[in-house]
């Protein structure tokens, strides 16, 4: 899930996972820098994917 907030002409995003039963993992928070489009950068998506893998492993106790 993603939370988007606009403040002072900037856009901030928080990406989190809430479907692990009783746990919520915040995967990434960042300021949207691109002035073109709403697409999240590849670098930010790579961070999110890596942290999601780690959150899944942590939740499973691996």
Q: What is the pLDDT of residues 17-53, one digit of tens each?
A: 988 888 899 999 998 877 677 788 899 999 999 999 9
> What is the reported pLDDT for 35?
66
Which of 40, 36, 39, 31 minimizes the C-alpha distance to 7? 31
Q: Which domain holds residue 25?
A: 2-60
**CB neighbour list of residue 1: distance below 8 Å, 6 or more residues apart:** 15, 16, 17, 18
> What is the reported pLDDT for 47?
95
How many domains would you assign to the chain? 1
Whether residue 57 is predicted with pLDDT greater than 90 in this model: the reply is yes
More confident residue, 56 or 23: 56
The pTM of this model reads 0.79
> What is the reported pLDDT for 18?
82
């Amino acid at each position: 899930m993603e939370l988007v907030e606009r403040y002072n002409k900037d856009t901030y995003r928080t990406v989190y996972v809430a479907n692990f039963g009783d746990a919520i993992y915040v995967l990434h928070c960042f300021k949207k820098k691109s002035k073109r489009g709403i697409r999240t950068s590849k670098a930010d998506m790579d961070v999110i994917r890596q942290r999601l893998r780690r959150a899944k492993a942590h939740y499973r106790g691996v």
